[in-house]
Amino acid sequence: MIDVRAWLEEYRGVREVLETAVLPLATSVDGRRFNFQATLHRLELEAGGYVTLDGDGTTRLGQVLSLELQSEDASGPGLPQVRIRVARGEGVVLDGDGRSFHDAMVQPARPDAVGAWLDRIRPEQGALDVGELALARGVPVGLDAGGFGRHTFLCGQSGSGKTYSLGVLLERLLMETGLRVVVLDPNSDYVRLGEPRDTEGAEHYAAVAQSVAVRSGASGPARIGVRFRELSPAQKAAVLRLDPLVDYEEYGELAGYVEDESIRSVEDLARVASDALNLRARNLGVDRWSIWPGGEGESLIAELEDPDGPRCLVVDLGSLATREEQALTAGAVLARLWRRRATREPIAIVIDEAHNVCPADPGDPITALATEDAIRIAGEGRKFGLYLIVVTQRPQKVHENVLSQCDNLVLMRVNSTADLAHVGSVFSFVPPGLIDRATTLRQGEALVAGKIASHPALIRFGARITHEGGADVAGWWSKPA
């Protein structure tokens, strides 16, 4: 009778001998990409990690792009045939002589070797020191400031550190570049961007902090104000939900007031409008919106036009009482930035929770107009100096014509395989093996790729200088009663 336990131990022993004999070797036919194999025993390689490739008397630096487990039959002298497990994958040569190579020994690269390579290729026009490499501890990461001259997509689920990390990016952009920044902030997460903490870098940031202005829905000189006369005819009609065919009488009446210089505010409109138009405004609650500043009140739109206005303008949409007011304010900002595009002033436009501002399927006329302006800026804004930073938890809910125009990706932890597949299809230039790692990223870690990075890299964001406006609810309720 066969002793199954003894047979199994012998099988495992033979398999371990054969698996250990697998040498970590790489081959490249073009000197740019390579394939490699490695033993599972003491395997220290991982997708996104850095390796040295030693062969032909040359040491090259490479990056692993994919890694998977494969099984195959093997045997050796005096050993039976067994099925062994081998790690195989692909990678890219980051620093080499461009020549093909065969059977180069693969081993993890030392952090100082990776750091030396990054120092040599550091961008000349400015680098944003946002943290360190996640797979080469202690090696600082400098994102190419000039790369933000292309649209950027930042994605991460709740709890991934998305808000904190975007704050780091904005701080560095304000400190290290001359870029003007406008933030559409639906959750009041960046309202303290002008308040440095007592921490490293605070002194350097102090001058920048003075140029950060926050506009909120609260009363006072810093409130959000949108004048009715500053809206486009289409926005005015959308506010009152007027359809040119169904509501042709009221629509025609409103259209007749467009060129009337005496109508500067909602109050002015109410004085001359018909009972039907006034009743519509009251039924919709439009006349009670807090964003109307009156005929001579402070204007958010006028502030965007002011060449001496704040360097960074945070529009605190989260402080507004209704969804309609938030959508109209966001749309008014996007529309005005697009309208003044001929000034060619470089501006980074941050759209946080972009699935609400420019959704794939706008649910109301006001949001539909905001989406149209976001699409225009995404498609043509770059040549006028308008650069989007689109932020969301759900990439599939952002309009495809906005998302598809982004050349930079900052991907934080995402557990949804459907969302990752969508990101992978849009950002096809990013290796799929690295996108798949998004499910394993820790809080504050991200995959960065595109014009802002020298190579697709897994990074860990560093500390913020300013206070974070948004925070999770304290967990006191989870303690035993």
Q: Domain ranges in the chain? A: 4-109, 127-225+298-471, 233-284
Task: Quote the Cα angle for 70-76-78, to 5°.
Answer: 145
* CA separation for the pair 356, 394 (Å, rounded): 10
Q: How far apart are CA 51 and CA 45, in angstroms?
A: 8
DSSP state of 196: B
162-216 per-position pLDDT tens digit: 999 999 999 999 999 999 999 999 999 999 999 998 888 888 899 899 999 999 9
CB 321 within 8 A of CB 155: no
Q: What is the pLDDT of residue 10?
A: 65
Residue owning tokens 């009715």: 228
Q: What is the pLDDT of residue 474?
A: 53
Specify whether the CB–CB gap between 460 and 131 falls below 8 A: yes
Pairing relationship of beta strands 101-108 and 50-55 according to DSSP bridges: antiparallel
Interatomic CA distance for residues 445 and 162, integer angstroms: 9
**Whole-prediction pTM value?**
0.91
Q: pLDDT confidence of 7, banded at 50, 70, 90?
A: low
Average pLDDT taken over every residue of the chain: 89
Question: 1.10.3470, 2.60.40, 1.10.1060, 3.30.310: which CATH number matches 4-109?
Answer: 2.60.40
Q: Which residues contact 409 (CB under 8 A, 6 or more apart)?
A: 152, 153, 155, 423, 427, 430, 447, 448, 449, 450
Q: Which of 15-19, 64-68, 299-303 has the lowest mean pLDDT?
A: 15-19
What's the pLDDT score for residue 218? 63
The predicted structure's pLDDT at residue 110: 95
CA atoms within 13 A on the CB side of 257: 24
Q: How much is the average pLDDT of 381-405?
A: 96
Helices (H), 436-477: none
Angle between helices 323-339 and 365-380 (to 10 degrees): 30
Residues 6+ apart with CB under 8 A from 424: 430, 432, 435
Q: Where are the alpha helices (DSSP H) in 93-220?
A: 111-120, 162-176, 202-209
Q: How many helices (H) and strands (E) does the chain have?
A: 15, 17
CA–centroid distance for 76 within its chain: 52
Residue 293 vs residues 219, 225, 247, 262, 299: alpha-carbon distances, Å = 10, 5, 28, 16, 7
CA distance 368 to 370: 5
Tell whether the model's pLDDT for residue 1 goes beyond 60: no
Homologous superfamily (CATH) for 127-225+298-471: P-loop containing nucleotide triphosphate hydrolases (3.40.50.300)
435 Ramachandran zone, left/alpha/beta (phi>0; psi -120 to 50): alpha
Residue 8: per-residue pLDDT: 72
- Structure confidence at residue 57 (pLDDT): 87
